[in-house]
């Protein structure tokens, strides 16, 4: 297939692009290269003649429409999104624009494009929308895991924007007949993840000898999914999923945040011991964030039974693989940190200039 991937320079997107190419597909990657995107994530496939990068914004209808016409995709995998909960609490506008309006632009373009297709290409076209478990809200300690029919109850502006985009995708399927698929995933981790996320943040703070911040008491529970497994699941759903259906994708690895952080510290103690003390000594507790969901858990019986997919990586092995990657790639990490600091300083300068 020729696949249009949105957000392919991001963490999950870059893994999807790479694994789609390895599966023999052609990939066009549309990415706006906002702060969390990184073209270095795809340096290993930059010369692949089945890969094309397009710098553009999914909110730009003209760019998106022209791209569909030019590349003639057989499928879309829509990953482009603003995804950091803390940032959505600080300011929700970018999340509404990209996650809601950007999805609407893509749906409109895909619907118009498909009307020009004929025969098997018309019948086989697919629009796969990648979403999150956060649309379901949160669970109590003894509640059953989220299923595909769990009512939506998003807590954060980020989760609400993703819930909105899920509803749009279903509406375009029912109203316009667009052949859609939706996946809702649990927390991802693995190599190349942007350092604002919990696992890389802990790794890099620990290596720098800085405080490792934990919200509240650290008892919030998350299900952890290795990013390579997630990419495999997405491609499996694209190939074999039933049109109009939703599939939960999870790692079946629930951990409290404090337990996860201590696991990371223990692996670091083994791989790169500190001169004075242990990495867990750096853990500090900070004020909880507003609306912090207590627990996420994913029931993945549907994708396992219908498509034969299950996660391959257990958390301990996945953490060791991930931590080793960060230890082996300090230049990648430093480049990201330098860019982040430069962006922060630029923002401070702009703010001071307007006072």
Q: Report whether pLDDT(167) > 90.
A: yes
Q: Report whether pLDDT(208) > 90.
A: yes
Least confident of 173-177, 228-232, 290-294, 345-349: 345-349
Residue 320 has a pLDDT of 97
Annotated active-site residue in 57, 74, 82, 133 = 133
Number of domains in the chain: 1
CB contact burial 277-295 (16+ within 10 A = b; e otherwise): eebbebbeeeeeeeeebeb
Residue 346: pLDDT band by 50, 70, 90 thresholds?
low
Q: Find the distance separating the first CA and the last CA of the chain, reported in whole Å.
A: 53
Q: Report whether pLDDT(312) > 70.
A: yes
Residue 352 has a pLDDT of 41
Q: Which domain holds residue 79?
A: 2-189+224-252+294-312
Q: Report whether pLDDT(329) > 60.
A: yes
Residue 35: pLDDT band by 50, 70, 90 thresholds?
confident
Average pLDDT over residues 308-331: 96
Q: Report whether pLDDT(9) > 70.
A: yes
Average pLDDT over residues 17-36: 96
Residue 218 domain flag: no
Q: Report whether pLDDT(65) > 90.
A: yes
Residue 318 domain flag: no
The DSSP call for residue 98 is: I
Average pLDDT over residues 228-240: 98
Residues above pLDDT 90, as percent of the chain: 89
d(CA 350, CA 345): 9
Annotated active-site residue in 51, 113, 136, 158 = 158
Residue 196 has a pLDDT of 86
Residues above pLDDT 70, as percent of the chain: 96
Q: Is 158 a catalytic residue?
A: yes
Residue 342: pLDDT band by 50, 70, 90 thresholds?
low
Residue 138 has a pLDDT of 95
Residue 354 has a pLDDT of 34
Q: Name the 3-class secondary structure at 16.
A: helix
Average pLDDT over residues 21-48: 94
To 5 degrees, how large is the angle CA 128–CA 61–CA 83?
50
Is residue 61 within a helix (H) or strand (E), and if so which, with residue range? Answer: helix 61-71
Q: Report whether pLDDT(131) > 70.
A: yes
170: tokens are 């279903």
Residue 287: pLDDT band by 50, 70, 90 thresholds?
very high
Average pLDDT over residues 222-246: 98
List strand residue ranges (DSSP E) for the chain, in order. Answer: 2-6, 26-31, 51-55, 75-78, 126-132, 180-185, 187-189, 212-215, 221-226, 246-249, 254-256, 283-286
Q: Is 134 a catalytic residue?
A: yes
Q: Name the 3-class secondary structure at 138.
A: coil
Average pLDDT over residues 214-227: 97
Q: What is the dihedral of CA 321, 323, 328, 330, to 10 degrees?
A: 150
93: tokens are 């506008």
Q: Report whether pLDDT(216) > 90.
A: yes
Better-predicted residue by pLDDT, 163 or 338 = 163
Residue 157 domain flag: yes
pTM check: above 0.85: yes
Residue 305 domain flag: yes
Residue 37 domain flag: yes
Q: Name the 3-class secondary structure at 142.
A: coil
Residue 343: pLDDT band by 50, 70, 90 thresholds?
low
Supply the CATH number for residue 66's domain: 3.40.50.720
Better-predicted residue by pLDDT, 283 or 36 = 283
Q: Report whether pLDDT(171) > 90.
A: yes
Q: Report whether pLDDT(153) > 50.
A: yes
Residue 334 domain flag: no
Residue 355 has a pLDDT of 32
Q: Is 86 a catalytic residue?
A: no
Residue 196 domain flag: no
Residue 242 domain flag: yes
Annotated active-site residue in 31, 57, 74, 134 = 134
Average pLDDT over residues 42-70: 96
Average pLDDT, whole number, for the chain? 94
Q: Report whether pLDDT(103) > 80.
A: yes
Residue 345 has a pLDDT of 62
Compute how many other C-beta atoms are within 10 angstroms of the C-beta atom of residue 183: 24
């Amino acid at each position: 297939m020729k696949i249009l991937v949105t957000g392919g320079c991001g963490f999950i997107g870059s893994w999807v692009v790479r694994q789609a190419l390895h599966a023999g597909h052609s990939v066009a990657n549309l990415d706006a290269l906002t702060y969390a995107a990184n073209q270095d994530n795809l340096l290993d496939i930059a010369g692949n003649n089945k890969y094309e990068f397009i710098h553009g914004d999914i909110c730009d209808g003209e760019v998106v429409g022209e791209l569909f016409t030019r590349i003639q995709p057989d499928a879309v995998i829509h990953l482009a999104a603003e995804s950091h909960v803390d940032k959505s609490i600080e300011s929700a506008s970018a999340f509404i624009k990209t996650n809601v309006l950007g999805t609407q632009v893509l749906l409109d373009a895909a619907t118009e494009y498909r009307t020009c297709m004929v025969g098997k290409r018309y019948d086989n076209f697919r629009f796969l929308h990648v979403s999150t478990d956060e649309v379901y809200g949160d669970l109590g300690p003894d509640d059953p895991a989220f299923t595909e029919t769990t009512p939506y109850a998003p807590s954060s502006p980020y989760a609400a924007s993703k819930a909105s985009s899920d509803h749009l995708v279903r509406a375009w399927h029912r109203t316009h007949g667009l052949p859609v698929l939706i996946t809702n995933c649990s927390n991802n981790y693995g190599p190349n993840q942007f350092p604002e996320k919990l696992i890389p943040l802990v790794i890099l703070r620990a290596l720098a000898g800085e405080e490792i911040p934990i919200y509240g008491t650290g008892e919030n529970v998350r299900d952890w999914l290795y990013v390579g497994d997630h990419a495999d699941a997405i491609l499996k759903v694209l190939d074999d999923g039933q049109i109009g259906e939703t599939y939960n994708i999870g790692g079946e690895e629930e951990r409290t945040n404090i337990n996860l952080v201590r696991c990371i510290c223990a692996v670091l103690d083994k791989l790169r011991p500190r001169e004075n003390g242990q990495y867990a000594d750096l853990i500090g507790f900070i004020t909880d964030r507003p609306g912090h969901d207590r627990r996420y858990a994913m029931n993945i019986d549907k994708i396992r039974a219908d498509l034969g997919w299950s996660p391959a990586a257990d958390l301990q092995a996945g953490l060791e693989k991930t931590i080793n990657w960060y230890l082996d790639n300090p230049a990648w990490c430093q480049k990201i940190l330098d860019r982040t600091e430069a962006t922060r300083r630029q923002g401070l300068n702009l703010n001071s200039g307007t006072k």
